[in-house]
Structure 1
Amino acid sequence: MSRRHLLVLAVLAATWGASYLFIKVGLRDFSSSFLVFARTALAAAVLAPIAYRRGALRELQGAWGAIVVLAVVQVAVPFLLITEGEHHIPSALAGILVASAPIYTALLALRFAESERVTGWALVGILVGIVGVVLLFGVDLSGDTETLLGGLMVLVASLGYSVGALYLKARLGTLQPAGIATATMGVSALLLAPFALVSFPSAAGADSVAAVLALGVLGTGVAFLLFYSLISELGASKASLVAYLAPVFAVLYGVTLLGEAISVATVAGLALILGGSYLGAGGRPPRWLSRTGPSRSTSPGPARAR
């Protein structure tokens, strides 16, 4: 991975990690459906001029069926689930649970994406990550039914991100990321418009409006353009590396700006999920561990996708 790719990953992680903060603030005055509609509509408006100048929109002819599927699987439904989930759980915890996306990607690749398939330490990583998720659900999300349901919503949304990443690479990987991002955001906004109109707010505070603007322009428009670019250049597994860094920023923002509390179980779950996701995407284990454990896995998909 080049320095440019590493820089893009870092910027994307910092931006995406802030999305959970923006969602939590936006929910003070907006419904989940209106919030998701607003962020996708804003993102499409920001991305459309870029896609037009690059000629990316012309490439979408004949691909609108796949675009609609991608919009539903990776944008509209996951966004709604995460937003609704944050009614019941802290923004930091939502960011941590979304970090399970690389684990899902590795699991799905075993069956559906031979070029992304991993073995050895990657399989160990999957198990480690699952233990982290179980720990969070057993301790931090065991308070009541609503809290548990909120965590499950975010976890299902993470699955949608993974399915969408593999689907994008398989069906739309030859198209320009700017066109894909613009189209998926626009389609998602259209799908959510009827629900947003029903819950249109009568009034909203300046902080909520600012949060929605930042969420739509930065956390959605710019972020998905960067993410789709990484998928096209590196493959789904390596692009999902952003999930290792984004939750760290989500926790940092949640604790420092929203005053959210974190427990020992939260930190332990985060460490297990991130470590498992790292190995699941083909990362190298420590040298002392690799000498005694299973052979280091390789991830042929990303290597060929360069």
Structure 2
Amino acid sequence: MSRRGWALFLAMSVIWGVPYLLIKVAVEETSPVVVVFVRCVVGAVLLLPLTLARGQLRPALRHWRPLLLFTVLEMTGPWLLLSYAEDTLSSSLTGLLVASVPFVAALAARLVGDEERLTPVRLAGMGLGVVGIVALLGFDVEGIALLPVLAVLLVVIGYGTAPLVASRRLDGVPGVAVSSLALVVTALVYAPFALPRTGEVGAASTRAIGALAVLGVVCTALALVLFFALIREVGPQRALVITFVNPAVAVLAGVLLLDEPFTLGLAVGLPLVLAGCVLATRRNTPAPAAVDAPVP
């Protein structure tokens, strides 16, 4: 990847690794549906004025069908399904299931005829990343239930295909416009469930409100803008390799900020995840040009 690509990749790896910590703080005092609703509203309030000021709203709405599909696949569906699944599944099992997103993205790209080849080196990198996540999070299958697992698998399908929709059907639409409209739609879907509970925010501590604010400003508004830039810089398949790094960042944040123990799994898993990401994001070597045989 280029320097810009690596910068965006590292930024997204950190920004979407931190929400695990912030959500853990926020849900101690507010319900999950309120957390999702607030982060969507905060993100929309920041991005929608930019969209309007730049005159991008009407052009973006001309692409309302793929925009709505992206919204359902990336936000509205997954956030509801994850909230349901994590009531039953362990965080380690959920993290391992979500780590299959790059494989789903590669399969989806192959099905739609994407020219990007998934080389043995990149496949090996993905496999190494999964091994690293197993070392980081373990494999806790206690209390496993079929419906929550199916819910996470639907999330994986959404996360794996949404960037493909963005790169193929929304390539000419600014990321700020797509993000703001997607956040507005998702907020409207959650509103009937969240508005009766908004009193929870008023009663929350400064710590919880701060977590909600960072979730909305950094992990939603800024993150979505950077995510679109990353997709356009490196392509949807490589962009989704961040799902290997996000759990590692979440574990490190727990060690540094919540005094969680530095385990052997972290010492072994983190280098494996990083090495896997380097391999999985390598650019393909161009095929050698055919050389015409000399004419006798």
C-alpha contact (below 8 Å) 2:254/2:260 kept by paired residues: yes
Q: In the TM superposition, what is the alpha-carbon distance from 1:166 to its structure 2 partner?
A: 0.8
Q: In the TM superposition, what is the alpha-carbon distance from 1:167 to its structure 2 partner?
A: 1.2
In the alignment, which residue of structure 1 is the partner of 2:158?
A: 160
Question: Highest Rg: 1 or 2?
Answer: 2
Structure 1's 17 and 132: CA in aligned 2 closer, same or farther, altered over 3 A? closer
Structure 1's 162 and 93: CA in aligned 2 closer, same or farther, altered over 3 A? same
Q: Distance in 1 between matches of 2:271 and 2:174?
A: 35
C-alpha contact (below 8 Å) 2:136/2:248 kept by paired residues: no
Residue 186 (1) aligns with residue 184 (2) = yes
Q: Distance in 2 between matches of 1:59 and 1:20?
A: 35
TM-score by length of 2: 0.79
Q: In the TM superposition, what is the alpha-carbon distance from 1:180 to its structure 2 partner?
A: 0.7
| Residue deviations 1:173-204 (CA, integer Å, cap 9, x gap) | 11111111111111111111112134444432
Mark the runs of 5 or more structure 1 residues left unpaired by the alignment. 284-296, 301-306
In the alignment, which residue of structure 2 is the partner of 1:56?
A: 56
C-alpha contact (below 8 Å) 1:92/1:255 kept by paired residues: no
* Identical amino acids, percent of aligned pairs: 34
Q: Distance in 2 between matches of 1:225 and 1:30?
A: 27
Q: Distance in 2 between matches of 1:9 and 1:242?
A: 7
Query: In the TM superposition, what are the counterparts of 1:218-257 in structure 2 within 5 Å?
Result: 218-257=218-257
User: Partner of 1:116: helix, strand, or coil?
Assistant: coil
Q: Distance in 2 between matches of 1:30 and 1:136?
A: 28
Structure 1's 253 and 164: CA in aligned 2 closer, same or farther, altered over 3 A? same
Q: Distance in 1 between matches of 2:149 and 2:96?
A: 10
Choose from 167, 173, 176 the match for 1:175: 173
Structure 1's 129 and 3: CA in aligned 2 closer, same or farther, altered over 3 A? closer
Return 89-98 or 258-267, whichever deviates more. 89-98
C-alpha contact (below 8 Å) 2:77/2:155 kept by paired residues: yes
C-alpha contact (below 8 Å) 1:241/1:278 kept by paired residues: no
Q: Distance in 2 between matches of 1:261 and 1:150?
A: 29
Q: In the TM superposition, what is the alpha-carbon distance from 1:282 to its structure 2 partner?
A: 4.0
Structure 1's 99 and 231: CA in aligned 2 closer, same or farther, altered over 3 A? same
Matched letter for residue 48 of structure 1: L
Residue 143 (1) aligns with residue 142 (2) = yes
Q: Distance in 1 between matches of 2:39 and 2:65?
A: 22
Q: Distance in 2 between matches of 1:152 and 1:135?
A: 24
Q: Distance in 1 between matches of 2:271 and 2:112?
A: 28
TM-score by length of 1: 0.77
Structure 1's 282 and 128: CA in aligned 2 closer, same or farther, altered over 3 A? same
Return 251-260 or 96-105, whichever deviates more. 96-105
| Residue deviations 1:118-142 (CA, integer Å, cap 9, x gap) | 13223344455555667788x4322
Q: In the TM superposition, what is the alpha-carbon distance from 1:274 to its structure 2 partner?
A: 5.5
Q: In the TM superposition, what is the alpha-carbon distance from 1:158 to its structure 2 partner?
A: 3.9
Aligned length in residues: 285
Q: In the TM superposition, what is the alpha-carbon distance from 1:42 to its structure 2 partner?
A: 0.9
